[in-house]
Amino acid sequence: MLPENLLRMPSVSLVQSWYERSFEEVLKFENGDADDQVLLDSFCEALIKIRNRHSNVVPTMAQGVLELKETHPVDQQTEASIQYFLHRFYMSRISIRMLINQHVTLFGGGIAPPIGHVGCVDPNCNVASVVQDAYENARFLCEQYYLAAPDLVIEQHNTVTPKEGSITFTYVPSHLHHIMFELIKNSMRAVVEHHGADSDKLPPLHIRIVKGKEDISMKISDRGGGIPRSLSDQLFHYMYSTAPQPPASGVESAPLAGYGYGLPLSRLYARYVDVIFHLSHEF
C-alpha cells in the first residue's frame, strides 16, 4: 500500500525481505504438534532469530523514507499516505515484538524474568524507578555529547493510598522506559541548547507522577524554551524533528537527535499497552 517510488528504495526493499523471510520461517510451525517439546524449542529459537533480525527495522525504514525524499519530490498526498502506513506498520511491530518477547520469556528456557514478573509484564512496576533509570541513560548520552546535563527532580503524589510509598501499577517496564527515555532526552537537549552547555547551573527537569483512581499521570516540565505553537501539529509526524537531520551514514550524528521518531513511537507504545489492558479487563 506504499507509493511505488518508496517501495523501490533499497532500505524499504531490505525491510520487506526481512518480513518475507520471517513469515516463511513461522509458517513451518503452522501445523506442528503442540505437544512436541523439541518442536516447541525450535519454535522459540526461530522467534529469537526473527526478533534479532528485525532489531533495526525502525532506522532502516526511516532511511528508506529519506532515500525517497532525496531522490523524488513528495507531495502532500504522498506524505499523508506514508504517515498513515508508518503508524499502522509500527503499531504492528510493537505488537509482534511484545508477543515474541512474552512467549520467549515464558517458554524460551533462557534468562528467567525478574521475580514477580509475568513474562515481560510487571504487576508491580515501580514508576519512579523506571523513570530514574531512563533519566540515567539519557543523562549518559547528554553528557557524552554536550559535556553537561540537567538534574532531575521527581515528585510523587498518590491520591488513592497516600500512606503507600512508591507508586506502582501493572505495566511493561521496557515500554515505559522507552517512552520516558525519549521524552527526557528531548527535554535535556532543549535545556542544554537553550541555556548553553557551559552554563553554571542548568535548570533541572521536573517529573510529577500522580496516581488517581483510574489513571497514573506523568508530567515532564523543563525550561528548554518551548516549541512554537505553529509547529505543534507536526510534533507527532514521523521524520519531523527540531534537531538537524542526521547524515545517512550515521557518522557524527548527535546522540540526542534522530530521525524524528521519538514522540510518535512513544505515543504508539503508550496507546498499545492501554488498548491491550482495556481489552483484558473487558474479557
Residue 171 and residue 132 in contact, taking contact as beta carbons nearer than 8 Å? no
Pick the CATH number of 122-282 from 3.40.50.970, 3.30.565.10, 3.30.365.10, 3.40.640.10: 3.30.565.10
pLDDT one-digit tens code per residue, 3-34: 888 999 999 999 999 999 999 999 999 998 88
Q: Please report, for residues 84, 93, 97, 193, the alpha-carbon distance to residue 88 in angstroms, rounded to integers and kept in the order given.
A: 7, 9, 14, 34
* CATH topology (fold) of 4-107: Butyryl-CoA Dehydrogenase, subunit A; domain 3 (1.20.140)
145-171 per-position pLDDT tens digit: 899 999 999 999 998 888 887 899 999
For the segment 214-235, what is each residue's pLDDT rounded down to a tens digit?
889 999 999 999 888 888 888 8
E strand or H helix at 126, and its extent? strand 122-126
Q: From the CA atom positions of the chain, what is the Rg in Å?
A: 21
Distances (CA, A) of 138 to 59, 145, 188, 193: 19, 11, 8, 15
Helix (H, G, I), strand (E, B) or coil at 119: coil
Provide the residue ranges of all domains of the chain, joining segments of one domain with +: 4-107, 122-282
Q: Which residues pair with 153 in a beta bridge?
A: 206
Rounded to an integer, the average pLDDT of 70-96 is: 91
Positions annotated as catalytic residues are: 178, 182, 185-186
Coil/strand/helix, residue 145? helix
118-132 tens-digit pLDDT: 989 999 999 999 999
Q: Report the relative pairing of strands 122-126 and 168-171 from DSSP bridges.
A: antiparallel
Helix, strand, coil percent values for the chain (each to nearest 5): 55, 10, 35
